A and B are shown apart, each in its own frame.
Chain A
Amino acid sequence: MGRRVVITGIGVLAPGGIGTKNFWSLLSEGRTATRGITFFDPSPFRSKVAAEADFDPELHGLGPQEIRRMDRAAQFGVVTAREALADSGLDLAGLDPYRTGVTIGSAVGATTGLDNEYRVVSDGGRLDLVDHKYTPQHLYNHFVPSSFAAEVAWATGAEGPATVVSTGCTSGIDSVGHAVELIREGTADVMITGATDAPISPITMACFDAIKATTPRNDDPEHASRPFDGTRNGFVLGEGSACFVLEELESARKRGARIYAEIAGYASRCNAFHMTGLRPDGREMAEAIKVALDEARMNPEGIDYINAHGSGTKQNDRHETAAFKLSLGDHAYRTPVSSIKSMVGHSLGAIGSIEIAASVLAMENNVVPPTANLHTPDPECDLDYVPLTAREHTTDAVLTVGSGFGGFQSAMVLARPERSLA
């Protein structure tokens, strides 16, 4: 086994849980952060609920100019990247900037900023030939969301490879997976990685309304995200970010870093089937899981907890239940599975990283977060989904998965570095 990669710093910004501590309180107490939309008037929309973060950029150290030029998602990313770096104890001045890189995942980039600016330059949708005299310079940063990686690089002093990874709703896993590959191959020693999205805007609500992907459970927003429950009828849009500091294991040990977990295995596959639909057999996700386990040199029995994609659409819940059975065999029935989207909603490209953070915190605390709102299980989903309340459970290794538009299916295995290798 060559260079091994570990997480040594975490920063999280999730609805109802800004900061790692608050985030874990929300999850371990099984509270939900979904609510009726407050960011704009939701009355024209079919789905009027979302998981919104109460975020004040100034409280998080962003200056007026940073706030002006950055889309909300970029602001989230900078805040969690700084938090992760501080948490890692790495000294910015002591970092070799050339050996430090950045990968940031985002599914929809600056969609909220673009929505706002379009409304202005088109004068409320009136002008075909939109008016350039009303554009701010930062519109280019919204146009090409690699600006998110640039902002994080500036905030952390990284001068190695930098990019945004944008594979739809698996971006948050794939971004971290990409960073792991850069350390393993020796291109970088430290990676600032993670994902961010802030998609709660009229255009996003409208496009998911059009395909009835988001829930219309508007009369009960606190309980609207119901993965694996027989009464679920779509996902709840969320927002947020999580970032990590990744280091090569030996150098992390040498400097006495606190090591949260090793990223032991990662793989991504495509369904080559449909831009929004899933094959019911779950085969691509199963394939990604198997390859990730192989890379981790782990048998299915090594997995103590599955952090599911669990978006709360019927199609997804059945698809991934099939994928767990296909890849883990009988062990799937013995392993707790849960979806934190029941509490923090689905923040598209960000959620994969937020779920990695949840997985690592489950290992830290030996507690598995619950699937909130799961009262009436879908009979076709017959695994142990940890309904309603968190569970004490020895958690040495976690499988976290994601599934998204475009057909992407990703899997990551997190484990304690001192484990014995199969």
Chain B
Amino acid sequence: MTAKVVITGIGVATPNGLGVDDYWAATRVGKNAIGPVTRFDAAQYPSKLAGEIHDFTAEDHLPSRLIPQTDRMTRLALVAADCAFEDAGVKPGDIPEFDMGVVTASASGGFEFGQNELKKLWGQGSQYVSAYQSFAWFYAVNSGQISIRNGMRGPSGVVVSDQAGGLDAIAQARRQIRKGSKLIFSGGFDASICPWGWVAQLAGGLMSTDENPERAYLPFDTDANGYVPGEGGALLILEDAEAARGRGATNIYGEIAGYGATFDPKPGSGREPGLRRAIEAALADAGLTAGDIDVVFADAAGTPELDRVEADAISAVFGPGGVPVTAPKTMTGRLYSGAAPVDVVAAVLAMREGLIPPTTNVTLSPEYDIDLVTGSARTAPVRAALVLARGYGGFNSAVVVRAAD
């Protein structure tokens, strides 16, 4: 039950970087990638900014057979999967196929693909709907397509818990390895920057309407006024630590050491939100105390009420200003199920370099007694990091990542 589970390969695609090197080069210096929406004309909508991935051409990376049947988020995920395999030094045939699986998170599925087919259905007629609509938009598509492309026949899964799902998927992958699988692919991707996805996200009422890319997404700032959505995510290769060493894995980025998840009480109950308990559960699961954590990657909702809940939970566990806190997602916007896997990537890269990437654009509000890393990156030894993620409605998840020895 206590097998150590380590990260041995990474594939990442975010608005500020494709691939581990690009992503980290941009993130460590606080390179902003939020800008005006270019994928459609957003002039008529109250929110006009997004974190878009601009330099990705799926056709350069994937066989043409896959293009007509995939949404953008699946193309990103498939390419990230290829990169992660390469990074891990594993080829699909190296490990028995029933010992490898895929557990991903999704928030909204292939929403743009669905949009296009809904438009054909209502605008032209039901016979115009694509044969691929039967799976290209649904939440399980990335796990399915990745398993097919890479010949992975072991335990697989898909979780949907909005932004918290990225951590829930990693936890489920760790369970499968502890039950005997050798290698599980995990993480999440979302990319719903299309008109239909935009109005659905606007409906949540939490998006920023500020039109200045440097003032729109300001978690923990006095001027916090909502979030900016982005697209992308990360996929991690997780392996049993002994098996990874046995095959001579060269990149052992870190260990998924602890996990905790809770759900908030029903609104209006007056009971304490669940985030603090999720953090405590993750620490206990890792066998660590608050003092062992060197940095917290915050969920950073960007709305005053949710920022308050998170700051309170962090302060309750670590004490006022007790641990450096950062939110590099201020550079990319919130990536839904992709956000937390990207933060896990940032956490292991922070360990590798001994550098905490910054929360850009934010001036910490005096309301919060957290030690937020603002301005530029901070040099610090990082041996253990806590990653937090929350989903709409009350989902709270926490993962502890620890340096591999």
Contacts and interface: CB of A to CB of B under 8 A. Distances in A.
A contacting B, Cβ–Cβ less than 8 Å: yes
Given A118-B115, A135-B199, A275-B69, A107 B138 contact: yes
Nearest to A188: B261
Interface of B: 1, 40-41, 44-46, 69, 97-98, 101-102, 106-109, 111, 114-115, 117-127, 129-131, 133-135, 138-141, 143-145, 147-148, 150-162, 164-165, 168, 172, 175, 192, 195-205, 261-266, 271, 274, 277, 336, 391-395
Nearest to A126: B123
Contacts of B69: 275
Contact of B160 (A119, A136, A166): A166
Contacts of B200: 135, 139-140, 142-143
Contacts of B155: 267-269
Contacts of B152: 270, 272
A203 B129 contact: yes
A408 interface: yes
Given A118-B118, A146-B395, A139 B107 contact: no
A95 interface: no
A209 B263 contact: no
Interface string A130-161: 11100111111111111101100110011111
Interface of A: 44-45, 97-98, 101-102, 106-109, 114-115, 118-119, 121-122, 124-126, 128-132, 135-147, 149-150, 153-154, 157-168, 171, 174, 178, 181, 185, 202-203, 205-211, 213, 267-276, 284, 287, 404-408
Given A275-B148, A406-B144, A207 B203 contact: no
B107 A166 contact: no
B145 A166 contact: no
Contacts of B117: 203, 206-207
Contacts of A164: 159-161
Contacts of A101: 263
A268 B158 CA distance: 12
A191 to B, nearest CB: 12
Nearest to B101: A270
A147 B392 CA distance: 8
Contacts of B264: 159
B118 A125 contact: yes
Contact of B157 (A126, A160, A165, A185): A165
A102 B395 CA distance: 11
Contact of A406 (B126, B141, B263, B392): B141
Nearest to A134: B199
A140 B192 CA distance: 12
A-B pairs with lowest CB-CB distance, top 9: A125-B123, A406-B144, A125-B122, A150-B393, A140-B204, A166-B139, A143-B200, A139-B203, A207-B133
Nearest to A162: B263
Given A139-B199, A143-B203, A160-B262, A287 B98 contact: yes
Given A159-B263, A159-B265, A271 B153 contact: yes
